[in-house]
Amino acid sequence: MAPLSFLSLPLLAGVVSAVTLSVASSGGNATSGYQYGLMFEDISHSGDGGIAFQGGTTLNGWTAFGSASIALDNNTNPLSSALPTSVKVTAKADGVVGIKNSGWWGIDVKAANTYTGSFYSLGTYLGNFTASLVSDITNQTLASVTVASSSVANTWTQHTYELQPSVDAPNSNNSFLLSYEATSGDVLNFDLISLFPPTYKDTPNGNRLDLMEALAGLKAKYFRIPGGNNLEGEAAGLQWNWTKTLGDLTERPGRYGDWGYQNTDGLGLIEYLIWCQDLELEPVLAVFAGYWLDETAAPEDELQPYVDSALAELEFLMDDSSTTWGAKRIALGYPDPFPIKFVEVGNEDGLSTTGIDTYSSYRLEMFYNAITAKYPDILIFSSIPIGVWPYWIGSVAEAIFAIGCERNADRVWGISYAPVLQNLNSYEWSPDLISFTADPGQTVLSTSYEVLRLLGSNVFTSTLPVYSKDAFGPAYWVAGVDDATSTYYLKAAVYNATEDVDFTVSFLGLTGGSATLTVLTAPDGYSHNAIGTEVVTTTTTTLTASGNGTFSFSLPELSVAVLAATA
């Protein structure tokens, strides 16, 4: 008997090769205006080591320079109660000593950039410190500045500096070096050592420029923060605590995050809200809801403190000086409130039986009742499961899902992709929307990014009914209008077709006019973007309407398109 042979196909191919659509001029559903957004949590070193960084609490990445020895010190007078550990540098011989840090898998050095930083020191020292950037390959000094010491015994002093590189480093294999002349036996302690490249909008303690520009390119409308699993904590007491992310960096203890590494919380609650302002995003604030990743939940009679914490968080962000927490925000230097319209209660509470049972029986209700009683205008979101699909074929599938969400805009408030950022040197999840290394030239915008950028850059104020004798599959679509610009849109995707699909689209609200057709394609369904490789092709053409605002075009297999028509 001949052996059986097996042929694996993702789905039976569709056979429809032409679609005729008529788009009504009115009668659709108003959209939320928030169809596309962002979701962030510190996963895959996307916060510390990615979008922002402000020191750490271990010697990971640090090495001694010259004859120095370095050690963690918990016995010396600490910089603050939040930061009890410093690094002790002991000179073993006369000469230049110091400490060196290789950054998060490298430091990008460009002559056009000015790098700013600071450090705290403890111990008597009358000389000068030198802050520098050096190549790990050639030992070339790329930038250097002298910092006059104000270091004294028994009191921590802060030193600030700026570094202006003289040349571009050929790669990111570079380190930061803090050095000084010492005599054998000299001991100095250092803490909260920081180095920042230019940040987005030059915000102090701000975010990495190239990554923020990539996020800005998505034209997103909202930002779900601060997570994500990193909101919940591995066990009771380990959850993200917003109160410990406030104030001066010396007062932030940080925490061991839920993805296997330390979070400094230099990226704290206020920084998240400034991030929203910088990108003109509406914040969706996720509040801890009494559930931990070890699949335990706070009993009903122990949940109230967490409800109270969520109310205090909202008071801190929105209320005035007559309130306890509003006054604390103002005292920190933020007199203007941060309005919150949307709150998500918890994160992925459906991942365990305990999570589902407690969330549905009392946790969601307790948070909902308390928040809406004090802030009746806030819209409350519950948490739901998620799913994933990699590669271009998955991105087209995501487009079809997004099109379906937009078609039901009266029920679906908006969608966002997670995780949004991934450090390629160390990550816990894939795929992600944007991947990066220390070298901005190696930032990768995923195929899903390209889809979301196209769809999110063309937002309706309302959907429009579409009349057609053709069923969905392999072509999928949604139509809408932007009343502010009088632009009519059709968003479409083709998945699992055997040949190009011809579209005939009539906008009943137009009698003529022209349209811009933007089409995304890739070489095949399993193409994906990588460092140095971008597989998505964007093709833009101008179409002229025939009678009654009718446009004709064709879309190939595994494509995503937006047709934008005006009179």
pLDDT in tens, 420-460: 999 988 888 888 899 999 999 999 999 999 999 999 999 99
Name residues whose C-beta falls within 8 Å of residue 9's C-beta, 6 or more positions apart in sequence: none
Other C-beta atoms closer than 10 Å to the C-beta of 187 total 16
Q: How far is 417 from 397, CA to CA, in rounded Å?
A: 13
Reported as a pLDDT band with limits 50, 70 and 90, residue 50 is low
* DSSP type of residue 548: G
Pick 259 or 115 by higher pLDDT. 115
Q: Locate CATH 2.60.120.260 in the chain.
A: 62-196
Residue 410: pLDDT above 50?
Answer: yes
Report the DSSP beta bridge partners of residue 388: none
255 closest CA partner among 284, 275, 226, 283: 226
**Does residue 173 contact residue 137 with C-beta atoms inside 8 Å?**
yes
pLDDT in tens, 473-505: 899 999 999 999 999 999 999 998 989 999 999
Q: Given this model, what pLDDT does residue 53 score?
A: 45
The angle that helices 304-318 and 324-331 make with each other, rounded to 10 degrees, is 50
289 closest CA partner among 361, 388, 378: 361
Element (H, E) at 500: none
**Does residue 146 contact residue 128 with C-beta atoms inside 8 Å?**
yes
Residue 11: pLDDT above 80?
Answer: no
* pLDDT, average across residues 60-89: 92
Q: How far is 151 from 272, CA to CA, in rounded Å?
A: 33
Pick 49 or 203 by higher pLDDT. 203
Pick 228 or 322 by higher pLDDT. 322
What one-character-per-residue DSSP string does 45-61 give? TSTBTTTB----SS-TT
**Does residue 368 contact residue 287 with C-beta atoms inside 8 Å?**
no
Residue 153: pLDDT above 90?
Answer: yes
Q: Locate CATH 2.60.40.1180 in the chain.
A: 18-31+460-566
Q: Locate CATH 3.20.20.80 in the chain.
A: 37-53+205-451
Other C-beta atoms closer than 10 Å to the C-beta of 374 total 11
Phi, psi of 66 (to 5 degrees): 70, -140
Q: How far is 472 from 517, CA to CA, in rounded Å?
A: 20
Reported as a pLDDT band with limits 50, 70 and 90, residue 2 is very low
* pLDDT, average across residues 50-79: 80
Residue 357: pLDDT above 90?
Answer: no
Q: Given this model, what pLDDT does residue 61 score?
A: 84
Element (H, E) at 288: none
Name residues whose C-beta falls within 8 Å of residue 122's C-beta, 6 or more positions apart in sequence: 76, 77, 79, 86, 151, 153, 154, 155, 156, 157, 188, 189, 190, 191
User: Residue 477: what residue type?
Assistant: W
The CATH code belonging to domain 62-196 is 2.60.120.260
Q: How far is 133 from 108, CA to CA, in rounded Å?
A: 10
The whole-angstrom distance between residue 520's C-alpha and the CA centroid of its chain comes to 24
pLDDT in tens, 159-176: 999 999 999 999 999 999
**Does residue 36 contact residue 456 with C-beta atoms inside 8 Å?**
yes
pTM: 0.76
Strands (E), 388-497: 415-417, 421-423, 434-436, 444-445, 462-464, 466-467, 475-482, 487-494
Q: How far is 189 from 187, CA to CA, in rounded Å?
A: 7
Report the DSSP beta bridge partners of residue 64: 99
306 closest CA partner among 320, 293, 292: 292
Reported as a pLDDT band with limits 50, 70 and 90, residue 24 is confident
User: Residue 138: what residue type?
Assistant: T
Q: How far is 505 from 549, CA to CA, in rounded Å?
A: 8
In total, the chain counts a number of residues equal to 567
**Does residue 177 contact residue 109 with C-beta atoms inside 8 Å?**
no
Name residues whose C-beta falls within 8 Å of residue 284's C-beta, 6 or more positions apart in sequence: 37, 222, 223, 224, 225, 342, 343, 344, 381
CATH topology of domain 18-31+460-566: Immunoglobulin-like (2.60.40)
Q: How far is 505 from 503, CA to CA, in rounded Å?
A: 6
Residue 5: pLDDT above 50?
Answer: no
**Does residue 354 contact residue 296 with C-beta atoms inside 8 Å?**
yes
Question: What 3-state DSSP class applies to 33?
Answer: coil
Mean residue pLDDT of the chain comes to 90
Q: How far is 200 from 198, CA to CA, in rounded Å?
A: 7
Q: How far is 102 from 30, CA to CA, in rounded Å?
A: 52
Options 3.30.110.40, 3.20.20.10, 3.30.70.1020, 3.20.20.80; which CATH number does 37-53+205-451 get?
3.20.20.80
Lowest mean pLDDT among 156-160, 478-482, 506-510: 506-510
